[in-house]
Structure 1
Amino acid sequence: MVWHLQGGSPMARNQGGAQLSFLIVSLVGMVVLCFVVFQQNSDINASDNALAAAEGEVASKEDKIREQSIEIYGLRVLIHGNSETSVPVPEIEAMIEKSGGDIATARGSSSSREYESLTEMYDDSIDTIRFLNNELQSQRSAAEAKDNEYQEVVTSKSNLGSQLNEEIDSLRSQLNDMQVQLEQSRTRAREESASLREEVERLVQDNSATVYKLQRDLSISENLLQRSNDRIEELKREIVREQTFAMVEPDGEVLKVSEELGKAWINLGSKARLRRGLVFDVFAYQKGGKRISKGRVEVLSVQDQFSEVAILENLDRFNPISTGDMIASPFYDQNDVPMFVFAGDSATNGRYSIEDMKRKIELFGGVVSDEVHLNTDYIVAVKGYEDSDEYGLARDLGVTILRETELLDFIDF
């Protein structure tokens, strides 16, 4: 009992501590609640201030919009009148779009600018007007300079015209004087002509016999001159007569003949640029210089000073190839390679064409050309050669004419 009175019971002490803790927690909660309320009041005040500022800004923008609307309306009235519905917006946009090219053209530029509004177009339009005004002033200055130059030229021409008029008057005066002198000269000339005519008639009568004799002598001289010209033409034709292979100078001669072996030896060797396989025509000269063909020989072997040949043909067994006979070949020239030119259209031998004969000539050491030159050695005459230009030129140049049959004697064996 005494214990309860002095210290109280443990349960009572626990209840008092719990109440105290609850009181402390309540106080802390109230403090936190007050802080939260204060903070929310601050946020509300800040939001109210921001809202008021936004409302003020909106009001300011609305004022600007009203001002711009008034300006736009004023521009519309200025451009299109008082009716707002009469503003052709598409036409204005088309005008703005077209104005870029027009302004560029006015400034002499090839690049067109695109405008977003009438304000941009207005600024460039003002600049373009200034530019065109400057150009106009420049053109006016140039025109004034040209006008001054023209006035100077007119003044100069006027002075020159005065000088020319004075010169014309002087020339007219001189012309009149010359006409007077000319008339006087004509009168004297007529008088002298009449006098000379009388003198001529007298001389003709006195010298008629002399004139007749001179005319007769002149006629005789003309006849003699014509005969001389005819003789000269005849001699010319004889000089340029056709040069044939029978007229070619000999290349060498036969030194020795062996009828048993069918061989002979000639005076041409390697020093004379002779080669094996070459065929020569063998001939002899008779009295009067006539040339008689006796046969053909072919070179078998070549020494320095002479060569051995085979007798291919004796044309006359009673007049065979013998010592001292001459030899000649169109394929032999100890100084140069012989050159051939064909004249005519086609071959007539029936065995070789013109192309075949050309290859044969080259095989035997000759050269074939398409045109006649000064160094051409032989003209090969085939069918139709008389009408060819090559034949006519060869005759004029004195080139040797080689008949088709004569050529075959040297390449066809």
Structure 2
Amino acid sequence: MAARSSLNVLVIALLSVVVLGLIFGIVLQDKALQKAKQMADGADKGKKAAEAAHELTKQERAKLREFVTGSIEAVDPAQIEDYLTQAVKDLDAKMAGGAVAAVEKKGGNFRDVVAGYRAAVARLMASVEEASRSSSDANQRGMQREEKHKADIESYKKQVLDRDQELQRVRSEIADMESAKADLEARLNRQLTEKDDDFTQLSYRFDTEKTLAAQKIAQANDTINRLRLERIPEKDLAKADPHGAILRVANKHTAYIDKGRRDFVRPGLAFQVYEQRGAVRFNKGMVEINRVEDTWSQVTITQPGTELEPIIAGDKIWSPFFKKEQAPRVAIAGEKLATPLLSLDLMKRKLSDAGVTVTADVGVDTDYVIAIEGYQDSAVYEKARTHGVMILRESEILAYVLQ
């Protein structure tokens, strides 16, 4: 048993040695294979590099051919020399301004051709440098002209600035003159306004005096017309009964009368104040009701009496627009008013506002007839005379409607 075991161990050991040897051989072969592959790769890279260099050489040669001959096709060196000789002629022609220089073909010596080409290029560069120097001189002259232009521009700018300052000064003077002109115009306008106000006052005063004169003329004309009448109606203002009396005079502006609310008087109603001396009636002034009580009224003295004949208690009052029983009825005889102070329509409205009934004709209940311009030819006037109606002249009625 022991001998068999030892044999087995020995066999196993031998097999192990064989296996290790095989493994070592495989490893060595693998390394050799790797090295061979690396060498093959290196050779392949060298081949590719050589092919690339060859291709680059071909491309450079083709470019050189194309540069020299204009084509990549292979040409004879003699043709290249011809091309270069022609290029030298062209360069010399450009440098000489069109005159072609005498260039001989030497034949077969490429270096000489290139040297000639380089000499032509050198001559061309010299011509370019000469042109550059000429251009530099021209640029310098241009810069000098530009500097001169700049100096001229600065001078012009200074002149413009001086002119602007002068213009500003002139504008300032003009503004001062405009301000002085505005002040003068304002002063003249104020003076003209004052003169206009004075003229307006004078005109108003003149119009007032003219109106008063027209009233006086109207009154004078009315007096003349009244004197021309065939006869004065039997029933006239001097024979009319008084409507009341002055109770008391408070001051030169206020008094009291004996007519009140029970007598159907109203504020705004005007009365004539007079003193009866026998058959003669002495007119003292006018009063107008401003406050009404039951049996008396307060009046404003609108036309006071004189210092010798003042309005006093006991003086009589009378108004054509007062009638205790009913509103007075008035007819108008004539076509227009002589006074310029109001129109016929305005007088009718004032009479209506005073409570007077204005009728177009004379009836049995007509209280008064107002005679205005043209009343002589009016049928209303003839009826008033026939019926014995009291006739009031325009001048007599104005004191009541102009309050």
Instruction: With the length of structure 2 as denominator, give the TM-score of the two structures.
Output: 0.42
If you compute each CA radius of gyration, which structure gives the higher value, 1 or 2? Answer: 2
